[in-house]
Structure 1
Amino acid sequence: MTPSAASTSATAVRNPVHLAPVPYKLVGVNAALKAASDPSFEVKPEIFSEFSLKGKTAAVTGGDGGLGLEFCIVLAELGAAVYAIDLPTSVSSDFEAAVAYCKKLGTSLKYKSADVTDPEQVNAVFEEIASENEGKVDVLIAAAGILGSENDVEKYPPELFRKVMDVNCSGVFYSAQAASSIMKRAGVAGSIILIASMSGSVVNREMKWAAYNISKSAVIQMARSMACELGQFGIRVNSLSPGHIRTKMTAAVLDVEPETEAFWASLNPLGRIGAVHELRGVAAWLASDASSFCTGSDILVSGGHTVW
């Protein structure tokens, strides 16, 4: 492209991207060069501090159990004050155990009841969390979601389709909307992680989950769209797409249908389905400054399911 063409192209953009300076951090090669020139420089591992969430506030929707509760614990392990948001008015025994565990870690895990499909409730609960934490929310993992039921597409009940879309799509949007509003107001360069699924990119073979698949595809596009709007404020938005994972919910089926687990396992190169803990690392990375140049991406964690 010629200079004149580049100039014309830039001026034709209605909302040009705000050009921010490239950040400098005294880690890696920069740290090595500093150490070489300054004998008093303290040499120590820095990668762990890049993952730290100390002093930050995190919220996880769908946090009473399943993947959501695992995300709550890993964020607490990184040092964040964590809030789980879910529909039940009383918490599960698993959540109670997680609260006690986080307390022993020296961090906190609290619970807020709200219906993610009700934007007024969602806004209210995020404002409440912000008010308890110096007006800020730094991290959101929107993990609330439902599977619906397996149905032929031409017979899929309209009321169930609406419910799946309302929870998996609208609920995720309302949560991200509320969190991003607080981040912008507080001037926080936050991280928003929307939990999608590999089912948003591929169709699960021999499984009639059209409504679920459609909703998760919408979440992936939602992350891209929000990333484009919020990047100028330093707010990053990504989606995380797990493959077949053994949770308490899926175990209820797989334990009585071992042939289903064998079939799922046969569909990826690793030859097994995933464990909940295998999503901890990627959630920690996306939530922290370790992923500071990642936005608008969909991170697939599927054992390679989508490469075949």
Structure 2
Amino acid sequence: MKSKHPGPLGVAAVVKASKDPSFTPRPSIWDEFSIPDRVAIVTGGNRNIGLEMALVLSEIGARAVYCIDLPGQPSDEFKLTKDYVAKFGGRLEYVSADVTNQVEIWDKINKIGDDEGRIDACIAGAGVLGREVDCLDYSAKALEEVMSVNVNGALFTAQAAGKQMIRFGLPGSIIINASIAGTTTIKGRQWVGYNTSKSAVLQMARSMACELGHLGVRVNTLSAGHIRTTLFSDVVEPDSQVFQEWAGRNPLGRLGRLDEMRGVTAWLASDASTFCTGSDIVVSGGYTIW
């Protein structure tokens, strides 16, 4: 299965227009970022980065975005976002599922495929930070809890989505949320389990990209830096010295906003990035360059 070429783009369109009077010159870059009639799934989509990513997929044209998360009922933030999306003709759906249960997540995503007749984009975004414990005292249970969600859950989700993409014979994009913690450690924090899990998904995505590329399925990771989410605020008090230190650890001298994840999400999920697979896209304000 190969990606469908959308037609002449860029300078190729210029050349065609010069030779074919019936070809109408027009800007086409927004078409490349548009995903009309496509269906997407986002795990961890009940709030924070996951919900922000689901919203932008709706904004660039997805006919349906399924947010999959553990709570039995969606958050108030999700409900507000669902209503907002409906006002411009989009559709957000909430599905309760445990990403650590391979059978359950496969079945839930297979049902979405049955209902929609396609799945084009997948964001494996469910994740947990885990306990902050000295690395020498980090328990087997604590490690298992983090790895089960961040690694197993990401794999099970990507597997399920990939199966649907291949089932319907459509090229697709799988995005696994990693973190700068997968390539560097966060100074002063005892997060050996979290850091290890995020490093693991980087290799997972590269491996899957190698196996699925010839089938038209792309797999990339997205490594965010310090983004102001409710989870972040639970870890670091906004007025604390640690907060100020973290804000100053990148060249931009500040923390990222949730909306600053929108552009890269749209790019990875759309045809604007059709030659990108097996890559880790870092959005950190430059944190990792120092």
Please give the per-residue CA displacement for 1:157-183, whole angstroms capped at 9, x wherever unaligned. Answer: 221110000000000000001111111
Q: Normalization by structure 1: what TM-score?
A: 0.91
C-alpha root-mean-square deviation of aligned residues, in Å?
Answer: 1.6
Summarize the alignment of residues 264-303 of structure 1 with structure 2, pairs less than 5 Å apart. Answer: 264-303=246-285
Aligned to 1:236: 218
Q: Which of the residues 223, 228, 237 maps onto 2:205?
A: 223
CA distance in 2, matches of 1:274, 1:305: 11
In 1: Cα distance, 2:231 partner to 2:6 partner:
44
Matches of 2:234 and 2:157, distance apart in 1:
29
- Provide the C-alpha distance between the structure 1 equivalents of 2:230 and 2:147, rounded to a whole number of angstroms: 23
Structure-1 residue corresponding to 2:71: 88
Task: List per-residue Cα deviations over 1:193-220 (Å, max 9, x = no partner).
Answer: 0000000000111111000000000011
Matched position secondary structure for 1:246: coil
Instruction: Quote the residue 1:119 is aligned against.
Output: 102
- Equivalent-residue separation in structure 1 for 2:20 and 2:219 (angstroms): 38
Match for residue 174 of structure 1 among 153, 156, 172: 156
Whose RCO is larger (CA < 8 A, sep 6+)? Answer: 2
Question: What CA distance in whole angstroms lies between the structure 2 residues aligned with 1:41 and 1:277?
Answer: 37
**Are 1:104 and 2:90 counterparts?**
no
Secondary structure at 2:136 match in 1: helix
What's the CA shift string for 1:81-140, capped at 9, x where partnerless?
Answer: 100000001110000001001101111000111000001110111011101111x21100
User: What is the aligned residue count?
Assistant: 289
Quote the residue 1:7 is aligned against: none
Q: Percent identity?
A: 48
Give the 3-state SS of the residue equivalent to 2:92 in structure 1. Answer: strand
The AA in structure 1 aligned to 2:89 is: G
Q: Which runs of 5+ in 2 are unaligned?
A: none
After TM superposition, list the pairs within 5 Å mapping 1:1-308 onto structure 2: 25-80=7-62, 81-134=64-117, 136-308=118-290
**CA distance, structure 2, for counterparts of residue 53 and residue 258 of structure 1:** 42
Counterpart residue identity of residue 40, structure 2: A
- Provide the rounded CA distance (Å) in 1 between the counterparts of 2:255 and 2:30: 29
Q: Deviations over 1:216-237 (max 9, x none)?
A: 0001100000000000101000
